[in-house]
């Protein structure tokens, strides 16, 4: 592709991924990566605000979420594969280096791609989840391990698939975390499809396959990190440590009174911060 054609799908290793490509076709290219248990719709409030600023957004449904990209083996969801998926999107779209934005697990993928293939990333923006090395230190030195209990629970077979079903306990957990009822239903309803639920959970089940060395690499592209102090999943220690792992212009923003679900809950503020970050580095 030339970069001036709409991208509705891309392929890699026999898998087909769905993409929401919106905004001005010649606009500043921004790739938006969703987290768990969401999909590209998690950016529905942010994307239109970016389009008004002349930004073109490409939001893929990532591995496990796109119907055509749901391998069954958990090792197929290791971080290196998730990063290569997004590299394939950028390369096939013909966009050159892009502004890369990720929330939750999408932030983890964005951190990884920015370190492994910085030539594809013009700027990095991570929402909620800190640099992997900072997160690892937080697990060892703070209450972060208690906050991340579900990462261990999701290693179990079969049971988590039932937990994240629309009528399972996950709905109440999402509400308790600050998500609205409508958005919790939006994210859990697709989990009726067992293959999707398994694919989404396999992101957690593939954690043991991560390469430890790659987690400590520093980011060397301009970086914006946004954390919210109402986040029940990510405590303050990892976010505070993240600056140590960025060797480039770095901005850290704290959203007060906002839950983990930043793109849904504070889209105007996210769009404002992104606009300043992207346009300031373009």
104 is catalytic: yes
Catalytic annotation, pick one of 104, 217, 231, 264? 104
150 is catalytic: no
Helix ranges (H only) for the chain are 47-51, 79-93, 105-116, 132-141, 144-147, 149-153, 159-163, 170-176, 181-188, 194-205, 237-241, 262-265, 267-280
260 is catalytic: yes
State how far the Cα of 279 lies from the Cα of 67, in Å rounded to an integer.
34
Q: Tell the residue number behind the tokens 């989840």, with chain if given.
A: 129
Catalytic annotation, pick one of 204, 217, 264, 277? 204
Catalytic annotation, pick one of 34, 131, 260, 277? 260
Q: Which two tokens stand for residue 276?
A: 């300043």
How many residues are recorded in the chain? 282
State how far the Cα of 21 lies from the Cα of 29, in Å rounded to an integer.
10
Q: Which residues are catalytically annotated?
A: 104, 204, 260
């Amino acid at each position: 592709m030339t970069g001036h054609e709409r991208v509705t799908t891309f392929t890699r290793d026999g898998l087909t991924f769905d993409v929401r490509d919106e905004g001005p076709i010649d606009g500043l290219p921004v790739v938006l990566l969703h987290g768990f248990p969401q999909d590209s719709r998690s950016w529905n409030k942010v994307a239109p605000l970016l389009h008004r600023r002349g930004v073109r957004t490409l939001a893929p449904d990532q591995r496990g979420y796109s119907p055509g990209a749901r391998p069954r083996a958990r090792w197929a969801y290791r971080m290196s594969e998730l990063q290569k998926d997004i590299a394939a999107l950028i390369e096939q779209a013909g966009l050159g280096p892009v502004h890369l934005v990720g929330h939750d697990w999408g932030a983890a993928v964005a951190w990884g791609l920015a370190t492994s293939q910085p030539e594809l990333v013009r700027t990095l923006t991570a929402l909620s989840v800190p640099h992997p090395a900072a997160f690892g230190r937080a697990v060892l030195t703070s209450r972060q391990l208690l906050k991340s209990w579900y990462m261990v629970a999701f290693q179990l077979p079969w049971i988590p698939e039932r937990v994240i079903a629309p009528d399972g306990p996950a709905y109440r957990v999402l509400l308790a975390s600050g998500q609205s009822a409508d958005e919790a239903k939006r994210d859990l309803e697709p989990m009726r499809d067992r293959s999707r639920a398994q694919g989404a959970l396999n992101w957690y089940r593939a954690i043991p396959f991560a390469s430890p060395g790659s987690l400590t690499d520093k980011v060397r592209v301009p970086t914006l990190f946004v954390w919210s102090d109402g986040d029940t999943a990510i405590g303050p220690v990892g976010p505070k440590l993240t600056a140590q792992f960025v060797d480039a212009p770095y901005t850290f923003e704290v959203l007060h009174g906002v839950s983990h679900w930043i793109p849904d809950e504070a889209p105007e503020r996210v769009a404002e911060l992104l606009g300043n970050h992207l346009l300031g580095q373009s």
